[in-house]
Structure 1
């Protein structure tokens, strides 16, 4: 139940991103800067919270299988996104993305409250831009604001559904849980390297924009240290 309450934060972020994009299209420099920031935060969460749980594991085979499944699934989603177009394809793919984010969040809360909290912060920044992307994609196809926001809200509900699935994993055997952690790690790394940073680099960027990745990384590390004091 606690994990579900925290899932409301990224859910609100998705809707807020869509609402902002419906009201005012964000500029490329601002978008790229915050995408770098989000990428740094997510990378820090993956490296600082999930990776340590997999080091020196007693189930290296589970790590390999979970990681391999993560790679295959994320690449398959990318491939499908390249082949299909239209509102249905867009909302479906983003819905799958949000479900995976929720799954990772739920897995984090099964590990520790601190892990879940830090992942909540990281994923909230990420899904903010998912909301922006979905809103811009639907608005470009002539959707009205009311219908657009209702659709984004409905798709956003896949976040708590994913979290429920992730928290349910707490009852699984250790090997299965280890595999899920490996899957979550790959999903987060893919998010940073193949989505946030790729999209951010499509816009012209100066040193300030590029530095936001490291700002986000250091901010989450400092927050983690503050939470352990």
Structure 2
């Protein structure tokens, strides 16, 4: 239950992103910078916590099975994204994405508290952008700002539900946990490479927005080092 409280932080970020977007939609350069920042933070969380946990357990079979399952699912999501159109399909895909983020966050807490805290920071930045993205998409078909924020809030609520779904993993054997972590690793790498950075490069780019990737990476890396030092 204590860890679920941390899950409300990115959930609130979704709502904040929605409110900001309906009040004053951000420019494309700002959105691109946020996407680079989120990608850098998530990549750092993967590098300093998820990947070392998988390698420390040293279970090649579990890593392979989880990784292959994660790859197949992410490719399936990409295929659906290319085929489905319309606001309902968009909301379903974003909802699955947010639910998966919550599950990965829950998996992070199943390893160490520090991993969960760092993933909370990383995913909070990421879903803040998702809140902006969902609101901008809905504004093309919905005129009511309250309805847009309400729908976005309902979608964001899937994140703590994802955490709850992942909670039983904590009580499974170490090999199974490693498989789930491998799945989460692939999901986060897909999020960075195929969603955040790809969409960021579709917008007007600049050295400043590109630099935000490294700002995010160094920020989380230093945060992890400071926590270990203290």
Which blocks of at least 5 consecutive residues in structure 2 are unaligned? none
- Deviation digits for residues 34-86 of structure 1, max 9, x if unmatched? 11111100000001110001115342111011011111111111211221112
Residues paired across the two proteins, number: 229
Task: Give the structure 1 partner of residue 92 of structure 2.
Answer: 92
How far off its partner does 1:204 sit?
Answer: 2.1
Task: Give the structure 2 partner of residue 49 of structure 1.
Answer: 49
Q: Kindly indicate whether the alpha-carbon contact (under 8 Å) linking 2:142 and 2:148 is maintained by their aligned counterparts in 1.
A: no
Task: Give the structure 1 partner of residue 218 of structure 2.
Answer: 218
- Deviation digits for residues 78-133 of structure 1, max 9, x if unmatched? 21122111221111111100110000000001111110000000000001111111
Q: Which runs of 4+ in 1 moved over 3 A?
A: none
Q: Counterpart of 1:74 in 2: which secondary structure? A: helix
Q: Counterpart of 2:57 in 1: which secondary structure? A: coil
Q: Counterpart of 2:141 in 1: which secondary structure? A: coil
Aligned pairs for 1:144-223 within 5 A: 144-223=144-223
Which blocks of at least 5 consecutive residues in structure 1 are unaligned? none
Aligned pairs for 1:64-103 within 5 A: 64-103=64-103
How far off its partner does 1:142 sit?
Answer: 2.6
With normalisation by structure 2, the TM-score equals 0.97
Could you tell me how far apart the structure 1 residues matched to 2:170 and 2:179 are?
12
Higher mean displacement: 185-194 or 134-143: 134-143
With normalisation by structure 1, the TM-score equals 0.97
Could you tell me how far apart the structure 1 residues matched to 2:8 and 2:187 are?
21
How far off its partner does 1:11 sit?
Answer: 0.2
Could you tell me how far apart the structure 1 residues matched to 2:155 and 2:204 are?
31
Higher mean displacement: 51-60 or 23-32: 51-60
Q: Counterpart of 2:197 in 1: which secondary structure? A: helix
